[in-house]
Chains A and B, each alone.
Chain A
Amino acid sequence: MATDSDTIKHADDDLRPLIDRSLRHPVMFFFTSAAAWLAVALILGIVASAKTHAPEFMGNVGWLVYGKAYAAHLNTLVYGWGCQAAFGVIIWLMARLSRKECRNPGTILLAGHVWNFAVLYGVIAILSGGGTGVPWMEFPAAVWPVLLISYVFIMAGSVVQFRCKEGGHTYISQWYLLGAIIWFPWVFTTANILIFNFNGHPVMDAGINAWFKSTLILLFFVPVGVAAAYYLAPKVTGRPVHSYALAQMGFWALAVIGPWTGMQKLAGAPIPQFLPYVGAAATVLFFIPAVTVAVNILKTVAGHASTVAASPTLRFTIAGIFGLLALGVMGVCLNFPAGLRFSQFSIAGYGFEILAIYGCFSMCSFAAMYFIVPRITRREWLSRRFISWHFYLSAYGVATIVICTIGGGLMQGAAQEYWNMPWSDAATRQYAYGWGTTVSWLFILFANVFFLLHLLLMWARLGRRSQHPTLLHQHHSESPHGPEGDIDEIQAANA
């Protein structure tokens, strides 16, 4: 049936530009506003981190007092950058994989603006002293319903596309995307209603908050990153995914294990005893889906080292997959019964969050952005150098942060356990690691300012008008993309 597959292929060739064009404005809106929020989050992160070792740094600025700056840093990182980057990736990937154009770009754009204003309001409220004091949920309690409603409008189209998709086959990425689409509102609504609207026991509220943080990472950010990796790795290398069975196992392992995690933060607190230990056990077991996914993706690109080195997309994907692997290993080290007492109240917890959000999810999102943006703007990335700076500063920066916070956190935790030594010993032990974290955040900020600039230029459609993708190494004398030339002219000539 060669003719049939040929017809489908031609139909797909026609359909792809239509899908890309229908999603151009919403996706670019999410990517650029996410990148802008990332810059804000990084600046706040630098201020907060500097204050851990230099407490008088900006000491007279009341709205940037450490606790507020730290809360604003994480909330902008999660809701400003993380969620919006995920939205852009989800709506584009879902449309492409379901072979459906976006029918409601206007609604998505409007909902996206509402989301941004809600985040802005929330951040201003935190900095001006109106935070709720619930970690990762510091926005005033009036903000979460607004976020939830705009989320529903952003995602509704993707669910409809999936339900009436063409071709019948469900690709691996779609499982993860659909999972993330469903898990996010479930987790988000449960946690917010139980903590802010119902009159629960204060200690159980703290437990639910810990569950919320962990499940948001493992059931929203990680699946979106993995979905992008499962799409990009085979796409760029031109090879099928290594093992379908492994992919299936990885997905269901995550679905089974993920929802139990988180409450180990309350080990020793007066809540039902099994909760923290179930949470610790599940976080240790997260190693299984992490390794399964990592092996599958790495096997898919195995033997394509030069493609990985040349393609910005693939490089970021592989970095994100190594981030996932590190996340799995850290889940074991930090939550093993012997390790939990050292990590529970040290900066290692922050290191784990940054590893998940920046080291795993963000690297995969950058990969997706380097792939998606040229397709929807029909322009290629301008500068190879910007991309490689972005890559090296991000990868080495986040690796240093993770080493400083997790290594330093365990040192700090050990000092806390020496109960007969003065407290100052435990308190001062993290200062050196704080320095390392601040400097690394500076490098990451530097990387992302270039990224934001690059993205804004692409948004303004000032990218290269070429049909050759921007690669980090050019070692083909003949390009598989045909002769170099202006993409519009070549396509007009072909038509």
Chain B
Amino acid sequence: MTFRTFSLGLLGTFSLPWLLIVVVPYATMQRIQPVEFNEDDDGRTGPYVPARPGRVTDGAAVYAANGCYTCHTQLIRPTYAGSDMWREDWAGVHVAADNIDTRRETSVFDFNGEAFAQIGLTRTGPDLSNVGHRAESYVKGTETTPEEWFLMHLYNPRGDFEYWSSCPSNGHLFTVRKKTGQGSGDALAVKARKGREVIPTADARALASYLYSLQKDDQVPYSLNYSPDKKRAIEQ
């Protein structure tokens, strides 16, 4: 084998997959156009923009820096690849009585505003695609807001019902300081040493806001809806 054949072989065997599975799909995915709603299918018009209230960009940076992706995924796979769709409150909202079903697979638009899709490495913890909605259901009927629930959970993940959880406490995202007067309105409702209060840092707030933004309860265009019993707007 001469050096020439060797180099040509190496060049050929690597550059073909490099082009076909890296460069070309990358360029194609860069040019994805928004999907439009239309009157016949969806009963409304305009482009589909996933509703993500919350601090997506800086919250995602805190999520990344603390390695949350090591244990949490953000991917609802189609049923041929996994059973994620059927886990309660993972893929969307399903209220059979009210005929509400927003369950769906993850779409390309779900990561709008993020630099890197945190698909995740393992599911040591649950999938977070719809965790914002779950937090809402946990605090239903109480004074606590979903963001506050997230802050409490970040401070002590084994605080309420998940005593078995191996999620790390993110104490470094909070400051414990001396309580003055009636105390701060931002203080967490957790036990602290006498005369002290626990205040979330800006990072903790960004992260809680980001987690709350992870919800799958809005209407998607007909073409993105993979529900088996979906109906077009004009048929309803």
Contact = CB atoms under 8 A, between A and B. Distances in A.
Interface centre among B3, B69, B117 (most CB of A within 10 A): B117
Interface in A266-285: 266-272, 275, 278-279
A183 B203 CA distance: 39
A49 to B, nearest CB: 11
A178 B25 contact: no
Nearest to A409: B122
Interface in B8-38: 9-10, 13-14, 16-18, 21-22, 25-26, 28-30, 32
A179 B1 CA distance: 14
Interface centre among B13, B22, B82, B172 (most CB of A within 10 A): B22
A188 to B, nearest CB: 13
Interface in B49-99: 60-61, 63-71, 73, 75, 77-78, 80-84, 86-87
A430 B124 contact: yes
A182 B12 CA distance: 13
A417 interface: yes
A255 interface: yes
B115 interface: yes
Contact of A129 (B66, B78, B121, B165): B66
Nearest to A199: B30
B122 A347 contact: yes
A207 B64 contact: no
A208 interface: yes
What range describes how many residues of A lie at the interface?
Answer: 35 or more
A201 B32 contact: yes
A371 to B, nearest CB: 26
Nearest to B75: A269
Interface stretch (B103-111, B135-143, B182-190, B210-218): B103-111
A204 B87 CA distance: 26
A206 B172 contact: no
A104 interface: no
A472 interface: no
Contact of A65 (B26, B30, B172): B172
A201 B108 contact: yes
Interface string A183-209: 100100010001100111111111111
Nearest to B125: A427
B122 A67 contact: no
Contact of A345 (B110, B114, B120, B172): B120
A186 B197 CA distance: 52
Contacts of B122: 345-347, 349-350, 412
A347 B120 CA distance: 12
Given A66-B168, A67-B168, A341-B82, A211 B22 contact: yes
B6 to A, nearest CB: 7
A477 to B, nearest CB: 44
B160 interface: no
A347 B124 CA distance: 8
Nearest to A347: B122
Contacts of B22: 190, 194, 208, 211
B114 to A, nearest CB: 5
Interface string B180-222: 0000000000000000000000010000000000000000000
Contact of B14 (A66, A208, A255, A346): A255
A178 B171 CA distance: 48
B10 A255 contact: yes
A133 B64 contact: yes
Given A347-B122, A347-B124, A131 B64 contact: yes
B151 to A, nearest CB: 16
B65 A131 contact: yes
Contact of A423 (B29, B66, B126): B126
Contacts of A350: 121-122
A469 B87 CA distance: 61
A259 interface: yes
A195 B82 contact: no
Nearest to A125: B65
A267 B77 contact: yes
A313 interface: no
A132 interface: yes
CB-based closest 8 A-B pairs: A67-B67, A133-B64, A62-B172, A268-B77, A268-B81, A201-B29, A202-B117, A259-B17
13 contacts: A65-B170, A67-B71, A70-B67, A133-B60, A175-B1, A194-B22, A205-B116, A259-B13, A268-B80, A270-B106, A345-B73, A345-B122, A423-B126
Given A267-B77, A271-B25, A346-B123, 8 more contacts: A55-B165, A67-B70, A71-B70, A203-B119, A345-B73, A345-B122, A427-B125, A427-B164
